[in-house]
Amino acid sequence: MLVDGEHLSIEDVVNVARYGEKVEIATEIREKIDKTRKAIEKILAEDKPIYGVNTGFGELANVKISNNKIKELQKNLIRSHACGVGEPLEEEIVRAMILLRLNSLAKGYSGVRYEVLDRLAEALNKKFYPFVPSQGSVGASGDLVQLAHVVLALIGEGEAIYNGKTLPAKEVLDKLEIEPLELEAKEGLALINGCQFMAAILCLALHDAYNLLKNAQIAGAMSFEALRGIDDAFKQEIAKARPYRGQMKASKNLWNLTRNSGISRKGKVQDAYSLRCMPQVLELFMNH
């Protein structure tokens, strides 16, 4: 699956997160990544203050950080925000988070080195599974806690899960032959300042909801056939009388599913609500 920052789909997220599809970074984004990185380095060379790059964070925004402390600043940012608690997130959620963060950085606006993207892709392809606690937040700036735990493991600190066991992250990196990520200026900030935890859960939940809805319609059609339902209720002429988008979709699907069934409806006058009102029951879900 090719990551270029522009074309990631929910299906892509599911395939990588759940089914281990390999990822590759599109070659055409390299130039843009390098260009924005050089812009960061130019500003640093001019000793201009950039929030979170060579300054403190929050109330410490006016505190200048010397160039020889910038790497330490980024590493300490990760350490300070990796403060989650509770059971670890499922592997598929963590993998989805890593992919979504990779996709965001691939847009080329974050000023990170290309090596950072490459390391995220390598972590996915070698199935590196950082231990990310399921609870914790530091406010409304994004999923800082969860992403910080991902990055903490990538730099060789914190923990990771390997063959069902929780181990020191550095040990797992060594087993998978992944070099710990060395953070340069801005990169810690760029890696955690996003909403990829909630986006990961939403992608997987939406995918499952669509599948559930599809199966609900198929199961409904099977019940309809078994109970010799009258298919007039699914005609588009009926659906158009109350033109709600969702129930029109459901009516069309149920109509198509019950074509040419060969089941006799002789002697039936009207079906129960549970059969003839299936499109209206499904309407709310079909709208989304």
Single out the catalytic residue among 51, 109, 244, 273: 51
**Distance of CA 205 to CAs 15, 42, 93, 208, Å?**
14, 42, 10, 5
- How far apart CA 136 and CA 143 sit, in angstroms, is 9
* Sign of the torsion formed by the C-alpha atoms of 137, 142, 143 and 145: negative
Catalytic status, residue 129: no
Q: Give helix then strand counts, H and E, for the chain.
A: 13, 6
First to last CA, the chain: 27
Q: 256: which 2 tokens? A: 């198509």
CB 121 within 8 A of CB 24: yes
In the three-class reduction of DSSP (H, G, I as helix; E, B as strand; rest coil), residue 86 is classed as strand
CB atoms within 10 A of CB 270: 10
CB 85 within 8 A of CB 136: yes
In the three-class reduction of DSSP (H, G, I as helix; E, B as strand; rest coil), residue 136 is classed as coil
Q: 168: which 2 tokens? A: 């020191």
Strand partners, 130: 160
Residues with Cβ within 8 Å of 202's Cβ and at least 6 positions away in sequence, in order, are none
Would strands 133-135 and 85-88 be described as parallel, antiparallel, or unpaired?
A: antiparallel
Q: Which residues are catalytic?
A: 51
